[in-house]
Each structure stands twice: as C-alpha cells, then as structure tokens.
Structure 1
C-alpha cells in the first residue's frame, strides 16, 4: 500500500513507513529541529546544578564528558536513520521484533509524554514565580498552544527551533550582562561548589545525559528526514554537543559567578536575574523566552510520543498528538512537573541500555542483520537490555561514584554482542 504524502492539506508524517527520498528535508531544516531542542532553560538547570554541587572544574568535566558520550550515542542512531528513513519505532521493530518493539517503543513514547507534561507545568510555574500569574491557567493555555504547533508536523518543529535557539542566546547573554554588574566572572574558575560531596562525578554525568536520553534515543524520529546518514550526523552535532553545551554552560557559568541564589536547588535557572530589575522590556523578554523555549522541548517530546504511539495503534500522528497532548496537559495541571528528579533517575537506568542494543544490532552487527528474517519477538535483544538496566541499577544503588547511565550503556552493548556472538559465527560459517 502506498503511503499518502498529503493529509488534510498537511504533509504526511510517514508514521508507518520510511520517509521517501523525495520528501527528505534540507540539512538546515533537520538541524533547526535538533538545534532548538536542547538549548532550553530546563537544560541550563542541570548544568548549573552540577557546577553548584561539584565546583567549576569538576562540573565542567562532567558536562563535557556527558556531551561527548551523547554525541557518539545519538550520532550513531542518527546515521542509521538518515540511511534508512526509518523512525524509532521502525528501528525498534528490526531489533526487538514485529511485536516486541511495542515494549521498547511504548515505554519511550510514554516517557516523552511525561516530559511534555513536566515542561508544560514548568511553563506555568515559571511565569507564576516571575509575575504571580495564575499557574494553572498559564499551563493550560501554553499546553494547548504546544499541541497546535506539534499538530503541524516536522516543519513546524524546525520553525520553532530556529526561533528558540537564538532567543535562548539573547536571554542567557542578557542574564550574563546583568549579572556581571554585581558579580566577578573572572573568579568563576576558582568556584569550589556548595555540594559538600552530596553529588558524585558519576551521578553528575548521569544527570546531564538523562535530560535527553529519551529523545536522544528516539533521534530517528527527527533525523529520518535527512537526505543521508552524513547529513543526519551533522544535524545531530548542532544538538550534541553544540546546543546542549550552550545551555548547560550558561547555567554553570552563572552559578559559578554566584549570580543564582539557592543554586543547589534552582540549578542554572537564570530567569530571576532577568526579572530582578523590573524592566518592562526584560519582563516581555522573559515571557516570550519561557513560552517559546519550553514550547520547543514540549513540541519535540509530544512529536516523539505521538509518532511512536501512532505506529503502535496504527493511527495517525496528528490524531495521537491531540489525544496525548490533552492527557499531558491534564497531568501537568495535576503537578507532574514536581517530579523532575524522579524522571531523571528512571531514565538514567533504563534508557541508555535500550539504545545500546539498537547500536549493537543495527550498526556494529549490521552485515549479519541485513538479510535477517522478521520475527515477532527477539529475546536476545530484551535480555541484553535487561542486563544493561540491571547493571545500571546496581551501580545506582551501591556504587554511586560511577555513572549508572554510562555503565548501563556499555554493559548493554557488550551483553548483546556476547549473546549474539555464537549466532554471528554460525551465520558466517
């Protein structure tokens, strides 16, 4: 059956088939989708928190290491997507089976809707804190706007990203300029931190990675629109490390300069610096910045979730955008954004091993998998995912000085290669 390329006047999102070459987007368009995603306020927060807890140099090292790992991790998955045009769900079908993929895809597609709810709630909370506006009403109106943008599809995400990233630079740059009037940025390298050993280096790396572990693993939903694997990787570079570092280092630098009060809890949230002077122009900037910036991450997460669930239930992305968007807004209004740390802990343990299995199966062992017959379930993939997640959980509980995200990723990858080794030898003999 041929997939329609136009639906109700809007371009098809190709929920159930690879994106054909005729509909692939330019490098600029795909880059704008990814570039505007990590350069957000909620990515500045963990950057500032890590620096607050570890001090400047150790915090900087954790941020750089986490971004390097994310670059390699997401680029590998993106390259495959650019080659095949397949979404995350279609990628997962190859590795976990035509029925088994539903577990992996359903898990991540649900988690990202949670992030949509969190950031929608954070929009209301941020403007309530800044101006005393009704938190529930703001979250409701913002959530409806985010749903509308997501409904328009991948092009709308690229337009929003092209606005959100420069706006972040303007807002963060203004915050630095205002903070420099009363704080010495020349002394940031000697900032010792205020954590007192409460956060280990490994936990810091996990915290940075976990912020985008889910959508990073689902990168194929965005980079399948690239013309080829090379352009998919180039688009990814704009996100990891470039956009991600800009956001996290902005928060970290302001914390190290002593410009953010209560940084051990607020992290790199620099909006109070902008609202402090009570300048009407700055106040307008804050409102636009918060809505557009958090709107960028909300729309991207909702797109991931709607695309994944549309394939699971054999429906359309835009229908699931409405259904999941409404659910997400309701969850946001119930206060889900309060559970930020809990989300990070879950993601750090469970998500990277899943991505590691995909990388091992479709990239490292790609020659063997090329002619593999379809099957409903592939137990070896689930076993390797479980081993990686178990290793990450063990580290999380008894060896917090290590990064459970990194351990889960490495162990999951090695476990899959080890489990598949006998099959690989048999297939080649």
Structure 2
C-alpha cells in the first residue's frame, strides 16, 4: 500500500514507524487548542490558584493515563481506534464507533472553523459579513495538510509548537507583571462556584474525544515507550498547560482565550500568530481523525476524498452556528466517547491477553454483542452519573465488558461440555 495514504484500513508497517520527537510534535500540536483554554477559564473564576493546580493535575493525569493506555495498544497492533473497534464491536458493529467518533471530530472541526473566522473578524475589526466567506476559506484551507497525511502534520507541528510555547511564555511573563507578582496571583479569590467533580469532568471531558482517537498517530510509534511518553507529554502536560493558560487568563484578565489575553497585553501580531497556529494544528488533526473513521465506516482507502468531504460538512456546520454549541457538545463528548476506549483496552488486555492477532488472521463476527452492550451500559452510566461522567463511563463499560465476556465464556464451555 502507498505509505502516503497513511494506511487507513491496515496496520502501520515497521518501516513506517516514527521516533519520539516526531510523535510528540504532532500530538502536542493536536492538544494545543483554544476550546481547552475556554474550559480552563471556567476554573479560573470558580477556584483559587492552588485549587486550580490540583484540579489541572488530577484531571489531566486521568486523561493522559487513558490516552496513553490506548496509545500502547495502538503501537502493539499498528491499528487506530476505528480499526480496533472491529475486534470490540464486530465488523458491522464497529460502524457504531465510526459514527460516534466521526461525528464528534467533525463537530470540533466546525467549531474551530467558526472560531477562527469570528475571532479574526473581531481582531481586525472587519465587517461581520466577512465571517461566512472566512469560514469557507479556513474550512477548506485547514484540510490541505490533513489530506497530505502524517508527514504534513509533522512539519506543521514542528514549526508551530515551539512558536506557541514561546508565546505562552510571553503571556505568562507579562501576566505576572500585570497582576503584581506570584503572591498577588495566589491571593486572588474565586467569584463563582463549581464542584470539584464537575471541574475534573470539564478538564477530562474537554479533550477525551481527541485522546480516544490519538491512536491515529500513536500507531506510528517505533516503540511502546515512545507511544506512551509522547501521549503523556501531549495529554497530561500539553493539555494541562492549555487548561492552566485558560484559568490564568480568567484569573488575571477575565479572559480565558490566550488570543484575547495577548491582545489585552498589547501583543496584536503575536495574538494573530497564536490564533492561526493554535487552530490550524488542531484542525488538521481533527479532520484527519474524521477521515480515519470515515474510511472504516465506508470501507474505502480514499482518505484524501473523505478528508475533503468532511471539511465541507464541517464548514456547513460552522456557518449554521456550531460556535454557540460548545458546552452541550463537550458534555456529549465526555459521556459517549470514553466507553469506546475503555472497551478497546479491555478487549486487548482481557480477551486477547495483550496479543491481538492481525485483522487478516482472525475471523471476526459481524456484531460483537458483548462489546455493544457494554458500550450502551457504560454510556448510560456516564449520562446519568452525578459524579465524574467520563471516568464513570470508562470504569462501568470496562467492568460490564469483563462480566459479559465471562458469561459468554461460561456458556460456551457449558455447551461444549454438554
């Protein structure tokens, strides 16, 4: 198969595997995202500085551990989440996870497309009528690097990630000066209220859909150590940094988005650069994820075509008002995405004992009803849980799958014994 197509329906071969810096650049570029800062902003108004540090640490440790677990499975098998879904949900049943994962990624793409157009209109004081043409421009423009494949994502991220880190450092430095030093920052008190459980849910749920599909890149890792290290760097450290940036901005400037903070600090050019690098490095990864799910759903290797079609759908959704639907969308993600990853990891470690056979070497059923029922149970538990919904969904789905596998195994032994 042509390596330029990034193996949408097969395992990544050994000669196409990547090193740590390559993996880390792509994954960090993915997690450096505006919406994560907005989620952090809600913490900045509800908790003091020390409490924010604890919530960011716990929430992102949970998220990083979840994503790293999936990353190791992806490395071992060379497969991404939607292909692993064939084992867990069946050849036809996996289309359920394809749809759920694809829908969430196209929703993110729509939100990012609308965000950059709206913010750019505001920053440059352009007429509001420019918003729609800009959404069309960016909606199709951002998918170019994704349509090329992993190599383009890697090049873009290696340029953008160091640049964004520099701008974040500049923002912190100026912020500490403006607030009067670290002592004044720590002394600031919250103006709103939020429970610890809800706060951790916000941190975990904001990028759990991305963590579930980060296997699209971790499957390219040369070793398990590289897959786990790069994923933890992105989802524990990188995503944690984004949440903290949002909380910091809300504490000091009552603005959670670093672009708005940089503008208020007088760094207009830096703000525009940050806007483009921040959105672009996530948008191309997001539409790449959609294409991976779409290829598995339609059983086609035409990844570039699916990428362009996804960009068109996302652009239409952006024009229709996706920008105003972020909070309900985040709740949806935190509820229905984590059980998929939980079942895949349980499948790998419990059913296959860490040694999954290749797709070409196993006769998979059309529907794996144990996996499907476990997903329904886990999602329902997350939906009705008053506690940390994503974590509840992961634990319940995994336990339900273990129980259903045990029951099915016991039945099979009974039938064979008879």
RMSD: 2.1
Q: CA deviation at 1:373?
A: 4.1
2:330 corresponds to: 344
Runs (5+) with no aligned partner, structure 1: none
Per-residue CA distance 1:65-116 (angstroms, 9 max, x = gap) = 1111112111111101111111222100011001100011121112101101
Q: CA deviation at 1:41?
A: 2.7
Q: CA contact under 8 A between 1:65 and 1:205: conserved in structure 2?
A: yes
1:187 lines up with 2:184 in the alignment: yes
Counterpart Cα distance in 2 of 1:18 and 1:404: 32
Please show how residues 118-137 of structure 1 align to structure 2 within 5 Å: 118-133=111-126, 134-137=130-133
Q: CA contact under 8 A between 2:377 and 2:400: conserved in structure 1?
A: yes
2:203 corresponds to: 208
- Structure 1 residues 110, 332: CA separation in 2 closer, same or farther (over 3 Å shift)? same
Aligned residues: 405
Please show how residues 8-23 of structure 1 align to structure 2 within 5 Å: 11-23=4-16
Q: CA deviation at 1:221?
A: 1.0
Q: CA contact under 8 A between 2:98 and 2:296: conserved in structure 1?
A: no
Q: CA contact under 8 A between 1:51 and 1:252: conserved in structure 2?
A: yes
Please show how residues 300-339 of structure 1 align to structure 2 within 5 Å: 300-315=285-300, 316-339=302-325
Q: CA contact under 8 A between 1:380 and 1:416: conserved in structure 2?
A: yes
Q: CA contact under 8 A between 2:100 and 2:337: conserved in structure 1?
A: no
1:105 lines up with 2:101 in the alignment: no
Per-residue CA distance 1:388-410 (angstroms, 9 max, x = gap) = 11111111xxx3xx211111111
Q: CA contact under 8 A between 1:82 and 1:230: conserved in structure 2?
A: no
Per-residue CA distance 1:18-45 (angstroms, 9 max, x = gap) = 1111212222212211121112332222
1:90 lines up with 2:90 in the alignment: no
Per-residue CA distance 1:169-216 (angstroms, 9 max, x = gap) = 222222223333331332222332121x3x221111111112211121
Counterpart Cα distance in 1 of 2:177 and 2:51: 26
Counterpart Cα distance in 2 of 1:272 and 1:90: 40
- Structure 1 residues 193, 97: CA separation in 2 closer, same or farther (over 3 Å shift)? same
Q: Using structure 2 for the length normalisation, give the TM-score.
A: 0.91
Q: CA deviation at 1:130?
A: 2.0
Of stretches 97-106 and 413-422 in structure 1, the one that deviates more from structure 2 is: 413-422
Counterpart Cα distance in 2 of 1:270 and 1:33: 21
- Structure 1 residues 370, 334: CA separation in 2 closer, same or farther (over 3 Å shift)? closer
Runs (5+) with no aligned partner, structure 2: none
Counterpart Cα distance in 2 of 1:168 and 1:311: 33
Per-residue CA distance 1:107-165 (angstroms, 9 max, x = gap) = 11121011011011111122222222333333322222201111111111112222232
Q: CA contact under 8 A between 2:249 and 2:261: conserved in structure 1?
A: no
Counterpart Cα distance in 2 of 1:276 and 1:221: 37
Find the partner of 1:170 among 166, 170, 184: 166
3-state secondary structure, aligned to 1:53:
coil
